[in-house]
Structure 1
């Protein structure tokens, strides 16, 4: 039994003290208590614990560090201040990504072979021997850092202050290429755009619109919210999503079956997949430009948010004037003919 008060709040205090003292044995015991008592934590304890645990992440032992980051993420999901928690979590994510890159390089340099998949347990002896302890832990705990980081990035204020998202995404892409693994939630969260201007051209009607999007995790979500703004708003003809379909794409939990309203098309005539993200929409004259074509076949999917903790929105700012619309259409390739 270590010193301190009972419950989750006491475990947090004990973990802080043990980490500050660099006492591995005591921090290990406090770490176990953190996990054992989290489920019974009161709201006030969670609000207080998130920033405190985030502040000591950098100095926490490498093994427990990622799990503590997940606890921080869980505190944020229960209401703890994401802006105060995010710096420690995102710094830890960067360290883990850098270590995972080093692991991939060491693995290749020592003979390569099947890349080990982390199973949530302890790293295997071979991995540690070939890449070293810190690099191996970085790779082995990356799924946990993904969970913690996405919990932070769900918040627009965090995304606005996370100026190194491009660097984190570059590291993540390097790890994915080397390992063959995908960290799709983290990749999408790092690519999310906020307050982003978007020009949309509706080819059938020859009309254009200026919109602004925020917090959109993927193009399925964008598709539904565009259909609501333009078709539901009475600007163009087509299939309008129901209020329930729109709600789950904006901020309501759950999924609702929907039917596609458009083909999303790039200015050069290429297809833009619903599986992608708005960050992949091409930029023309400093603004992302998207063409909406009539659906070439019937598509259906569960409407909702790929990142369910993130609020998304598409705001229609104005319809473009005819001359302005013509100038944009002049930069767009003709519609591709469908072949049987």
Structure 2
């Protein structure tokens, strides 16, 4: 949950009051209405949440820049409680794009005015000194970017949002995020990884020791720790290749069960070019070859253990075996692969 639940009341009345105050540009009433909205969130029914999420999302562009990120977080909380993410996400991503652009300007101006350690956003507003140094809009963007990250991840937890996100828009957001990260030295890992999640993505796996090959399909896998465990579950657990079989609980927490449990790696993940595919990365690191992603499994060079689970607890994931490649097809893919470096 990304938004606290407190108090009792009529949630939709608070939403309506907030909409009216924002559109009339009444700052005092907006603050009062937001406090009521916050207090009554806990007692809102499913139908109220379903209506409130899209309404608040559509209001985002009219909310002043300072509190806009907080309202985006409220929209994310509504989505977590069942509001339609596909109706909310376009407005959240519009705000994210605008915030990333202004945060990029913040990084440029910060460097141009002497540099130094970047300020850490706190619960309040940027200090007058910072706002004067880089401009209010840029300062607010830097201050509220963590809120936009939180709200955007709440949207991207939903498969329909990820599959409906235009490729050009995804690339635009990743590029703008890269500018901010490179300019500031701060890493917004959750946002980057969420934007990189692959769905309905074909994956060809070659098990080098046996020369066997497998056609699989990835859905909603947040990082390569999760992928590694699911590969072991599907291929070792399915009796296709030798190795350590993850427990049922280890596999479950990598799909949709809550929590984390210890696990031990079964392979070394390698690209067709021989480079290691680090568990700390994402499945998008696996190269495309002949229109599909190609991964090689080698024996592990040493024992590696980690907590099995999902990088995004709110995102379900899966890895499905579609078919075992016949020997000739497996040999053709294997011929494209170099030894590990």
Q: TM-score, normalised by structure 1?
A: 0.95
CA distance in 1, matches of 2:14, 2:293: 49
Residue of 298, 301, 305 corresponding to 1:296: 301
| 1:227 aligned onto 2:197 | no
Secondary structure at the aligned position of 1:195 is classed as: strand
Contact preservation (8 Å) 1:24, 1:61: no
Q: Which residue of 2 aligns with 1:177?
A: 182
Figure out how many residues of one structure are paired with residues of the other and give that number: 332
Secondary structure at the aligned position of 2:269 is classed as: strand
* Structure 1 moving runs of 4+ over 4 Å: none
Residue of 315, 323, 335 corresponding to 2:328: 323
Q: Which residue of 1 aligns with 2:38?
A: 35
CA distance in 2, matches of 1:63, 1:251: 36
Shift of 1:18: 1.4
Q: Which residue of 2 aligns with 1:334?
A: 339
| 1:20 aligned onto 2:23 | yes
CA distance in 2, matches of 1:132, 1:94: 18
CA distance in 2, matches of 1:200, 1:92: 39
CA distance in 2, matches of 1:197, 1:84: 28
Contact preservation (8 Å) 2:216, 2:321: yes
Deviations 1:150-177 (A, max 9, x none): 0000111111121111111111111111
Q: Which residue of 2 aligns with 1:212?
A: 217
Secondary structure at the aligned position of 2:254 is classed as: helix
Residue of 125, 129, 135 corresponding to 1:132: 135
Contact preservation (8 Å) 1:225, 1:246: yes
Shift of 1:130: 1.3
Deviations 1:91-149 (A, max 9, x none): 11111111101111111122222211212322112210011111111110011111100
Residue of 271, 282, 288 corresponding to 1:277: 282
Shift of 1:20: 2.0
Q: TM-score, normalised by structure 2?
A: 0.94
Shift of 1:32: 2.2
Is there any run of 5+ residues in structure 1 with no aligned partner, and where?
A: none
Deviations 1:54-113 (A, max 9, x none): 110111111111111111111111111111111111111111111101111111122222
| 1:255 aligned onto 2:256 | no
Q: Which residue of 1 aligns with 2:4?
A: none
CA distance in 2, matches of 1:135, 1:144: 15
Shift of 1:296: 1.1
Secondary structure at the aligned position of 1:118 is classed as: coil
Q: State the Cα RMSD in Å.
A: 1.4
Is there any run of 5+ residues in structure 2 with no aligned partner, and where?
A: 1-7
